[in-house]
Amino acid sequence: MKSAYKAIVIGGGVVGASVLYHLAKFGWKDVALVERAELTAGSTWHAAAGYFSLNADPNIAALQAYTINLYKEIEAESGQSVGMHETGGLMLASNPQRWEMLKAGLSTFQAIGINSAKLMSRDEVHDIIGDVMKTDDIYGALYDHNEGYLDPNGVTYAYTGAAKKRGADVILRNRVLELNQRGDGTWDVVTEQGTIHTEHVVNAGGLWAKQCGLMAGVDLPVTPMEHHYLITDSIPALTERKTEIPLVADLDGFTYARQERDGMLLGVYERNVKHWMMDGAPWDYGMDLIPEDIDRIMPELEIGFERFPALAETGIRRWVNGGFTFAPDGNPLVGPVGPRGYWVACGVMAGFSQGGGVGKALAEWMINGAPEEDVFGMDVARFGLHQSNREYIRQTTGQFYARRFMITYPNEELPAGRNLKTPGAYADMSAAGCRWTNIWGMEAPAYFAPDPEFVETGTLQRNAAFDLVGEECKAVETAAGLLDITAYSRFEISGPNADAFLDQLLACKLPKPGKVKLAPMLAEDGRLKGDLTLFNWGDGTYWLMGSYYLRAFHQRWFDDHNAVGAVIRDQSDAMSGFSLHGPKAREILQTLTETDLSGLKMMNAITIDLGLLRVKLARLSLSGELAYEINCSTTEHATLRRMLLDAGRNLGIREIGFRAMASLRLEKSIGIWNGEFTQAYTPEMTGLNRWIAWDKGEFVGKGAAKNDLPPERVLCMLEIEANNADAMGFEPVRSQGSIVGMTTTGDYGHRLQKSFAMALIDISHAEVSTSVTVDIAGERQQATIIEMSPYDPSGSKMRA
């Protein structure tokens, strides 16, 4: 062990080993892994070690494909076998809803370039698995030949063996005791064998990630949970086979299975979950297991034994009940967090599917400043401090685990961690029939259903609230719709260096006092980092407004690029408000103020007295109608709502939710983050280049974006001949059977009474009037590329 390294990786499981390997592979030779016991101790050694290529997030799917392809490379490089069994994998459908979901899933995988999967009929499933599994009750399965399982020890030692050949060190039986940051930002890693000085610390602590985070003052939203599987004695039907059976995920049975030599491994995701050592595993826990709890998992075991009849006639050779670390949404935590130079790679539940990709992304981030892929689905910044609360973690991780194999529909609202944050008018809006969705812990209106008996069930088809949302859209078109916008982020930028900070951060020119600008934000490589709105209130302060769930993500970016020392304050919890849309919007507001609003043009902003309140008001529209955004303090939210509803009562005002706004903004071809705009896309692909001020001075990403090659795909608008379902995003767009694009978002346009989607289309097929097809809920529908902004394309209504 040396006294100093460029980076220290804490944790010797498969993820820590992957991070070490990739740091060395990408050029940092002076790195070391420190493990408190032996490699694989904790979760890795007892993992079932299946690997899967399918993931609905295209960027994570790309990292999973990278992980799978990497195994033969590290095996050859290290000389250590990874024990790779390329068996293929089946996801079973036992009911029509699951079959529909698998068909839709296959379309998504094809859209994102996964071509190893296909649907199988019941008979085809039986042909490849035989009588080992009951198949007479299934509708079919999704099969992927690029799945299988590995030797967890072999994989870990292959990573570390290859890393050591590239110059990295592996230090075993040496627990990290403390992490102390020096004044210059570097770290002292205090271990049982002495102190190591380093620039970077990576927490790949697995079951001990919580403790390793607290050493740096970071409270991570992770917790260990118990997970069971069993291994049987030999099964004659398997002994007689020439090939191994595929991995099987019985999604409706909450079980997964694979062959283990001549027997079987059966694992369960039980609905009666159990957390284990929520504050982290004991330090002396290593190659240990938790006593099995068979009674608790019996309902799922019974389903598994029914699915595989031979299990009832076979002895159980071994029970495994081990701890695995979960984040609230089941995805990994990756990236920089807390003090400078502190990184995390933990909560990687699917370590053998994602470990290689996690190591790659984090190493690129540490060495190059950013990962190659958009890894927001894994980014630790998708969580905030409110999500490190113990009860929040308990509820959400329990919910995720219990629903691991359940269908979660796009319109489904889940109960865990809810009512954590509520807008000021929450009680009044609930009494008015508001049905709520959740955005980063904040309750936000989805739609209004005055009938308290109204129930909405999950579906891929148009849901029970379809007509209610249509009525809200109609109110916006004919009178006025009032939308709670508490769940918007609001960053205040001030101080003598505010202009300098914003000018180099944003790709737009700064608005003059009293003006508003759409503000694209780029990364150094020219790809998108944000689609924000910049307000100059004329009093020396600016506001940057954006997506509420990106608050931690954007705050990190602002801090990293604030070399001039501007004052940045996240006002998102201190401020609130409503947006008012529709032809009667000005008339309603004018009854509450003596300020003449007729002269307030689009993209202008003022501070005015509105009734008893002093508010910040701006004129801009996401709906395509005359619209205003009205911002007040959180304590005034309920008062503002009452004032606006009273003023508009005789003018047809109606409260609306974000589902209506999704329909309205799509008819105007207005993109949103994580749909039309992501870190994987460039301004020219998405049309945001029209808001970039190329003629101003230098700003982050200018050179890379300006010199970027013409994009292969561009954003287009589709009109779809849909039946009872609409596009949602990530559906394939085809021309003469070949995939030429992918939808980004979609919905029904209630004002135009047509189904629409936006999509990234190959530039050779992106001409208006081109006929294409789109897979919706697994069914192919005809579509046509149309001009952008089909509703009021001239914009005369919103400029009225």
d(CA 423, CA 446): 13
Cα separation, 421 vs 431, whole angstroms: 17
Report how many helices (DSSP H) and strands (DSSP E) the chain contains, helices first: 19, 37
Give whole-number Cα distances, 228 to 155, 270, 771, in Å.
22, 9, 51
What would the DSSP string read from start to end of 231-274?
A: EE---HHHHT-SSPPPEEEEGGGTEEEEEETTEEEEEE--SS--
- Residue 491, C-beta contacts closer than 8 angstroms, at least 6 positions apart: 543, 544, 545, 554, 555, 558, 568, 569, 570, 571, 572
Percentages helix, strand, coil for the chain (3-state, rounded to 5) are 30, 30, 40
- In the chain, CATH 3.30.9.10 covers 89-147+225-320
DSSP-assigned letter for residue 12: -
Displacement of CA 244 from its chain's centroid (Å): 35
Q: Which residues of the chain have pLDDT under 70?
A: none
**425 and 637 in contact (C-beta within 8 Å)?**
yes
Q: Give CA–CA dist 352/86, Å, rounded.
A: 13
- Using CA atoms, how far apart are residues 339 and 199, in angstroms rounded to an integer? 12
Tokens found for residue 98: 């699951």
Give just the sign of the alpha carbon dihedral 612, 618, 619, 625: negative
Domain 89-147+225-320 falls under CATH 3.30.9.10: yes
Task: Report CA 64 to chain centroid distance, whole Å.
Answer: 15
CB of 229 closer than 8 Å to CB of 222: no
In 3D space, the residue among 713, 712, 689 whose CA is nearest the CA of residue 701 turns out to be 689
DSSP-derived pairing of the beta strands 4-10 and 604-610: unpaired
Looking at residue 646, what is its pLDDT? 98
Per-residue model confidence (pLDDT) at position 707:
87
Among left, alpha and beta (phi > 0; psi -120 to 50; other), residue 303 is alpha
| Distance from C-alpha of 246 to C-alpha of 231, rounded to nearest angstrom | 16
Distance in Å from the first CA to the final CA of the chain: 72
Domain with CATH 3.30.1360.120 in the chain: 488-663
Cα(50)–Cα(88) distance, integer angstroms:
10
Determine the longest span between alpha carbons in the chain, in angstroms.
88
Fold of 4-83+150-224+329-382: FAD/NAD(P)-binding domain (3.50.50)
CB atoms within 10 A of CB 788: 14
Residue 55's pLDDT is what? 79
CA angle 315, 321, 327 (to 5 degrees): 145
Q: Phi/psi of residue 535, each to 5°?
A: -110, 130
CATH number assigned to the domain covering 671-786: 2.40.30.110
Element holding 210 (H helix, E strand): helix 209-214
Q: What is the CA radius of gyration of the chain?
A: 27
Where are the CATH 2.40.30.110 domain residues in the chain? 671-786
CATH 3.50.50.60 boundaries in the chain: 4-83+150-224+329-382
pLDDT score of 57:
78
- Copy the structure tokens of residue 47: 């993992």
Q: Domain 488-663 belongs to what topology?
A: Gyrase A; domain 2 (3.30.1360)
How distant, in Å, are the alpha carbons of 11, 24, 84, 201, 335 from that of 160?
A: 12, 10, 17, 18, 21
What is the tens place of the pLDDT at every residue in 113-167? 889 999 999 999 999 999 999 999 999 999 999 999 999 999 999 999 999 999 9
Name the nearest CA neighbour of 247 among 350, 400, 359: 350
* Residues with Cβ within 8 Å of residue 718, at least 6 apart in sequence: 727, 733, 743, 746, 756, 757, 758, 759, 772, 774, 783, 784, 785, 786
Find, among 149, 155, 174, 150, the residue nearest to 17 by Cα. Answer: 155
Q: Which residue matches tokens 């064998």?
A: 193
